[in-house]
Amino acid sequence: MIYKKYIKRALDFTGSLILTPFVGAVCLACGPFIYAEDHGPVFYKAKRRGVGGKPFEMYKLRSMKVNAPDIRNADDSTFNSTTDPRVTKVGRILRKTSIDELPQIFNVLKGDMSFVGPRPVTVDKKYDELDDVRKKRLTVRPGITGYSQAYYRNSISQDEKLKLDAKYAEDVSFILDTNIFFKTIETVVMHKNIYNKTK
């Protein structure tokens, strides 16, 4: 499909290039507050798996305390809640507004990510050890937002998210991406499903 192979990347590059000055300004504005709370780094770099299973470093504004432990739910999804002691005071605001995700615009510009696609997963396992569903979702670039992120965020299980992401990878289209983009705006503005129900 022409959109999936060429147009999507062209839109990603153009959009991220336009947004880079704005995101840079937001990072500069938030940086002093992040640093002032515990004198840790402003940015957090997480190793994630990209298209074709290739690892890359995903950028975020740091919302957790330095050296916070990696806590997981039973389904291996990331633990998060309103009472998570690992999150800083500034981090709670960043997460609620999704501002912490903005530096991923730089990943989009580089070609590691797309505006819309399955959310990036960790590199805990070797690519060959992944099941078919996980491999299917890696046939497209991971996104700042995706179908499961926009419509469900943290209100469904990890397995459900993976299946929805794999389905998205098969059905990528301009209309679908547009719907996901606007649904994401609604979800962020209304602060829907920010935290999962697993405590």
Compare 156 and 81 and report the one with higher pLDDT. Answer: 156
Q: Which tokens belong to 42?
A: 């402003």
Residue whose pair of structure tokens reads 């903005």 in the numeric block:
102
Which of 103, 81, 76 shows the shortest CA–CA distance to 92? 81
Residue type, 79: F
- Read out DSSP for 43-57? EEEEEEE-GGG-EEE
Prediction pTM value: 0.86
Q: Which tokens belong to 37?
A: 């709370």
pLDDT in tens, 9-32: 999 999 999 999 999 999 999 999
Q: How far apart are the first and last CA of the chain?
A: 42
Q: Report the percent of the chain where pLDDT is more than 90.
A: 71
Tell me which H or E stretch contains 12: helix 8-38
Which of 199, 125, 132 shows the shortest CA–CA distance to 166? 132
Instruction: State CA 53 to chain mean position distance.
Output: 16
pLDDT in tens, 144-180: 999 998 988 777 888 899 999 999 999 999 999 999 9
Q: 3-class SS at 179?
A: helix
In the predicted structure, residue 197 carries a pLDDT above the cut 60: no
Q: Are the C-beta atoms of residues 195 and 95 closer than 8 Å to each other? A: no
The helices-and-strands tally (H runs, E runs) of the chain is: 8, 4
Note the pLDDT of residue 133.
Answer: 94
Residue type, 13: F
